[in-house]
Each structure stands twice: as C-alpha cells, then as structure tokens.
Amino acid sequence: MKVLVVGGGGREHALIRKIKESKRVDSVACCPGNGGISYDAECYSVSATDIDGVVALAKEISADFVVVAPDDPLVLGMVDALNEAGFATFGPKANAAIIEGSKVFSKNLMLKYGIPTAEYKVFDNPAEVIDYIREKNEFPTVIKADGLALGKGVIIPETLDEAIAGVKEIMEDKIFGASGNNVVVEEFLTGPEVSVLAFTDGKCVKPMVSSMDHKRALDGDKGLNTGGMGTVSPNPYYTDEVAKECMEKIFIPTIKAMNAEGRTFKGCLYFGLMITPKGPKVIEYNCRFGDPETQVVLPRLKTDIMDIFDAINSETLSDLDIEWSDDACTCVIMASGGYPKSYPKGIEITGLTDGQLDGVTVYHAGTAIKDGKLVTSGGRVLGVTALGSDLEDALAKSYAAVEKINFDGAHYRKDIGKRALDLLR
C-alpha cells in the first residue's frame, strides 16, 4: 500500500512513523511535510488545505489510502472530497468535524445531550458580551471564538479591561477572521487537564492511552498559550475510576449524540478534559489527533494502525483488540525564540544526523532542508520524544537529548511532566 498523509507537523511525523511500521505499507507520502519528515516520506508541496490539490496529488501518486490529520482540511470537507473521488481515508467528514469547527455547535450538543461541560452563553454582539461579563463580575472568565483559530482562540481575562480588549480583538478586529463572528463565554473551571484521544467508527469508541499537554509557553504554566510545549503519557490524573466515569458520561454519550444529530463521527475524536472537583468535564473536542499528544500516544501503540483505520471504515472496531505498551512516553518541544509570538526562521539546527539522535525519536514540527542543512521553519521546531520504563526514565532521556540539540534562540520548558510526577510522588 501507498499511504498519503496530509499535514506537515510533529503529529504527522508521528503518524508517518507508526504507519511505516505496518506490514501492509510499502511507502508513505506526505503533503506538504517538512524537512525532518522528508527522511521518512516523499514530500509534495501541496498545501494541507488545498482540497483540489490533495485530490489531484492522491490520483497522481496512486495513493491507496489518505490520512487527513489537521483540523482545517477536515472542517473544510477534504475527506468528503477524497471519498467522492474514490479514495479510502482516515478522518471525519465535514458534517462531523464541526464538533471542533464550531464551539457553539459543540457546546449546544453537550447541553442538549447532558454531557458535562462548563456553563456557557453564546453571543454575536460585542456590546452584549461585555454587558454580560460586567454584570456577572466573576473573574477569571473564559471567552472562546466560535471557529478555528490555530489553538489560540481562547482567552481567560482576569479583569473587565482584559475582557474588553479580548472581545474587541476577536469580534471587531477579527484577528481570527469569521471564526470571531460568534463567541462563547463560559465558566472558569479548575483542575488538572487530561487529553484522551479515542478511535471511533460511530458504533463503538476505543480510548487510547491518556496524555497531558503543557499549553503555556513558560515553566510553571506561565506565559502565553501555545499549540503545546510538551506532553507525557500516561497522565496519572486519569485513574481507572476517572476513565470509567468518562466512558459512561462523556465518550459514549458523545458518539451517540453525534449519531442522533445525523453526524456520525468516524476517526480520532479528541476529548480535552478537566478533572474538576465536580467530576470530569469537557473543555473541548477536537476532530483529529492532538499535537503534541500524538507524539507520546502513538509510540505506545502495538496494534497495526492500518488495521485500526480499516476497522473504522468497515465499522468493525468493536471486534478489534487494540494493544498498548506499558512504557511511559514523553515529548519535549524545542521552539523558536519568540514563539508563540513572532520568531525568526531559517536558523541552522545542529546535533542531529539525518534529523535523528540515538536513544530518542525526534519528531519534526517546523524544519526545512536548505542548502543541504537542517534549519528551523516554524514556531514549534522539534518534539524530542522518548519511551521509558516510567515517566521519570522517559523524561531523563528526552531532556538528555534536548541538551545535545542546538539552534540559536531555542527555548523549551524545563518542567514537562513535573505536575504528573508530583502526583506520583
């Protein structure tokens, strides 16, 4: 089989590595891919959001299977277009991807079907949002742009002035475009966060091993929100008891709700959860594998991933036994100086051979090859990933490797996994 993976970040690199392990796969192609991915897959310069371009590429290279990894092409209907052109795919259709594409949709879905989440109100008018927040006078509060916003569409103002500034940016200056036409204002929840990715064929749901993201840029969960600065798996806050409650109150009800709405979800459904004092609640759904969660979840997968994709397409997932290793896995993101604000590109990366380093797997998020040299090309550059007998062991390997990799301005968090380890101690 020849498999085409759409996307070009660390998540796609992790997917490609896992797909290459499949006995049934001869070669993997990727569009657009990146410098580091090009060591593992033939990369084609077609944008991940170019639906016609991706369909044409799949035909040109005679792909047998196409995996659409990022949110925006899924929400835009790339899977629908590929299916119409006769390609087997992994990823939800547009009518199901809306679970991530619209926060208003997902909040209303949870309310309608009694799935635990923060209390909320929807607005289409900036003045009304401010009046509501002023009257409520509860801070911090949470304001979310309705549509996709590169993971940056959530603000958590501590004061009314911050809320006014945020609403202006989202709803008037339209920094996320039409994604800011509507906003959701919701109750601020507290508790540890857990990411659970789950395979589903619309009939059954099979959660993968749990993980924990670290979204803020700086140590101690300080600084700006980012796409994710590191991950660990398993997440010790996700106990068997919590898992059982999530299955009963969140996972199965969500799959049923989507069916009841005529929006059967097939693919990887990402549950962003918070374990609040009142039990687990949904912070967000994503219609795809998380980034950088995938980088710590898939290395633990023992079952052939193509068998899982096939079982989803034939709606026989319940018959498949999916196996996971007991190892822990950790990913430390090395980012460009300045990220998540503006940052330079094209900085040479040293310390890697053919993009890799012994003892770890380096998933490339934002790299390019220029004049034969590996250089930075994005905000998140590398995900330095290690398996270990436990989190401590895996973290020691990830951090030892990070010390050996250099590029000017590189920054990374020194406390990935600390919150998880604190609970275990």
Positions that interact with ligand AMP (CB under 6 A): 118, 142, 151, 154, 186-189, 193, 215, 272, 283-284
Cα dist. 277→143, 215, 274, 281 in Å?
22, 21, 9, 10
- The site partner of 349 among ligand AMP, ligand GLY, none (C-beta below 5 to 8 Å per kind) is none
Residue 291 touching ligand GLY (CB under 6 A) = yes
Task: Work out how close the CB of 193 gets to ligand AMP at its nearest, in angstroms, rounded to a whole number.
Answer: 6
**Pick 151 or 279: Cβ nearer ligand AMP:** 151
Q: How many CB atoms lie within 10 A of CB 172?
A: 10
Q: Do 174 and 158 form a contact (C-beta atoms < 8 A)? A: no
Phi and psi for 134 in degrees, rounded to 5?
A: -60, -45
- The site partner of 291 among ligand GLY, ligand AMP, none (C-beta below 5 to 8 Å per kind) is ligand GLY
Listed in sequence order, the residues at least 6 apart from 84 whose beta carbon sits closer than 8 Å to its beta carbon are none
Residue 355 touching ligand GLY (CB under 6 A) = no
Task: Work out how close the CB of 42 gets to ligand GLY at its nearest, in angstroms, rounded to a whole number.
Answer: 26
**Pick 66 or 143: Cβ nearer ligand AMP:** 143
In 201-237, where do the E strands start and end? 205-207, 212-213, 216-218, 222-225, 230-233
Residue 12 touching ligand GLY (CB under 6 A) = no
Q: Which residue is nearest to ligand GLY (CB)?
A: 290
Which tokens go with 261?
Answer: 């709405």
Task: Work out how close the CB of 154 gets to ligand GLY at its nearest, in angstroms, rounded to a whole number.
Answer: 11
Region from 17-25, 109-117, 249-257, 289-297 binding ligand GLY, contact rule CB under 6 A: 289-297
The residue to which tokens 């094209």 are assigned: 346
Q: Do 181 and 146 form a contact (C-beta atoms < 8 A)? A: yes
* DSSP code of residue 302: -
- The site partner of 283 among ligand AMP, ligand GLY, none (C-beta below 5 to 8 Å per kind) is ligand AMP
Residue 293 touching ligand GLY (CB under 6 A) = yes
**String of contacts with ligand GLY for each residue 199-218, x by CB under 6 A:** --------------x-----
In 8-139, where do the E strands start and end? 27-32, 42-43, 65-68, 88-90, 120-123
- The site partner of 188 among ligand GLY, ligand AMP, none (C-beta below 5 to 8 Å per kind) is ligand AMP
User: How many Å apart are CA 242 and CA 193, to the nearest integer?
Assistant: 12
Q: Which residue ranges make up the site for ligand GLY (CB under 6 A)?
A: 151, 213, 228, 286, 290-291, 293
